Amino acid sequence: MARKVTASDVALEAGVSKWTVTRAFQPGASIAEESRKRVMEVAARLGYRPNLLARSLATKSTQQIAIFVDDFANPHKLPFLENLTAAIQAENMVAMLININQHYDHVQAFLSADQRQVDAVILLGTDFRDETLRDEGLISANPPLYVVARESMIDSVVSVSCDVQTSMEEIGSYLLEKGYRRPGFMSGPKTLSTVLGRLRCSKAFWRRHGISDVPELPAGCYERRAGMLALRNYLTATPVDERIDILMCENDILAIGSLDVARSEFGLKVPADLAIVGYDDIDLAAAPAYDLTTYAQPIANMVTVLLDMIKERREPESAQLPGRLIVRGSA
């Protein structure tokens, strides 16, 4: 087997020092352009590739970012992951995806990522428990934590999310203008971090307009079948003349499950009998079969802000960015 080409081999062939070879592969390093060009030509001819592990020991940066994901049934995750991983790779970093599940919790995942000396950990809308992170002492430890597509209740943990208060104001104002007066809300997982979320802001909007009774339909998780079950239970238990006339769902996949049940099992006309609104604007929301009114999160802008913080081009502080209301036939 051929011996792997080293920096010393390139240095000898190019007539420069090993240190010059190292600097030639470091963006922004101080080196004469002629020397850099000569090193690159020799490196290409010999098939040399710099040892990133060795470089990380010197720079104390592995250029690796860990991403924690738990709800893979939520189709909003895929386009977000696509944007996030593409942005990470564009920065010459590597994304490490960690699946949080019943056998592998956030604490285990964080300790594993820390042992691999990642530069940062991103919690992508995961159902993390703030109290667990506090109790385990992970908040003040390295690597730094960032939350994206969800709010954080911990001051020291930076989050980048869609502006939930503005989005609920826009959705509520539109529905109020259309004449809806009996709102309900379908919620997802229950953790402390949802206290500042869409449910609270939605109820606050209606309360300011004299409507204090907003039934909550708990789905428990972000899955289509969970949305189906939550609405099925509500419609079965509630007399027709006491039912809500508009259902705001915490995300699109719950709304799609609700639409399936409302139409196929109860024969309801949407939006005449029951209007339904989602949140995220996943690809399926625009399908003619659903034609779902929803709220689009600014994925690209959220990813840009997050990466600017990780790369220290922006101060690390929580940011809420504006999204966009998309009106379709379901409301």
What is the mean pLDDT for each group of 10 consecutive residues in the chain (331 residues)? 78 88 77 89 86 57 88 88 96 90 82 84 76 60 84 83 96 97 93 67 96 95 95 98 97 97 97 97 96 97 97 94 98 96
Q: Are strands 145-148 and 120-124 parallel, antiparallel or unpaired?
A: parallel
Range of the domain at 26: 7-50
> Rounded to an integer, what distance in angstroms lies between the CA atom of residue 283 and that of residue 287?
7
Q: Are residues 237 and 259 in the same domain?
A: yes
Q: pLDDT tens digit string along 289-329?
A: 999 999 999 999 999 999 999 999 999 999 999 999 999 99
Output the pLDDT for position 141: 59
Q: Are residues 118 and 24 in the same domain?
A: no
Q: Are residues 240 and 318 in the same domain?
A: no
Output the pLDDT for position 195: 46
Number of domains in the chain: 3
CA–CA–CA angle 23, 28, 33 (5° rounding): 65
Q: Report residue 222: phi and psi, to 5°.
A: -95, 75
Asked, for residue 328, whether it belongs to a domain, the answer is no
pTM of the full structure: 0.80
Q: Are residues 199 and 260 in the same domain?
A: yes
> Rounded to an integer, what distance in angstroms lies between the CA atom of residue 211 and that of residue 165?
17
Q: Are residues 186 and 74 in the same domain?
A: no
Asked, for residue 154, whether it belongs to a domain, the answer is yes
Buried b (16+ CB within 10 A) or exposed e, 82-94: eebbebbeeeebb
Q: Are residues 139 and 260 in the same domain?
A: no
Instruction: Residue 120: count other Cβ atoms within 10 Å of its Cβ.
Output: 21
Asked, for residue 331, whether it belongs to a domain, the answer is no
Q: Are residues 43 and 78 in the same domain?
A: no
Asked, for residue 196, whether it belongs to a domain, the answer is yes
Q: Are residues 281 and 258 in the same domain?
A: yes
N residues, the chain? 331
* Owner of token pair 């691999």: 116
Per the DSSP assignment, residues forming a β-bridge with 59 are none
Asked, for residue 140, whether it belongs to a domain, the answer is yes
Asked, for residue 58, whether it belongs to a domain, the answer is no
Output the pLDDT for position 194: 47
CATH of the domain at 259: 3.40.50.2300
Identity of the residue numbered 253: I
Residues 6+ apart with CB under 8 A from 178: 275, 331
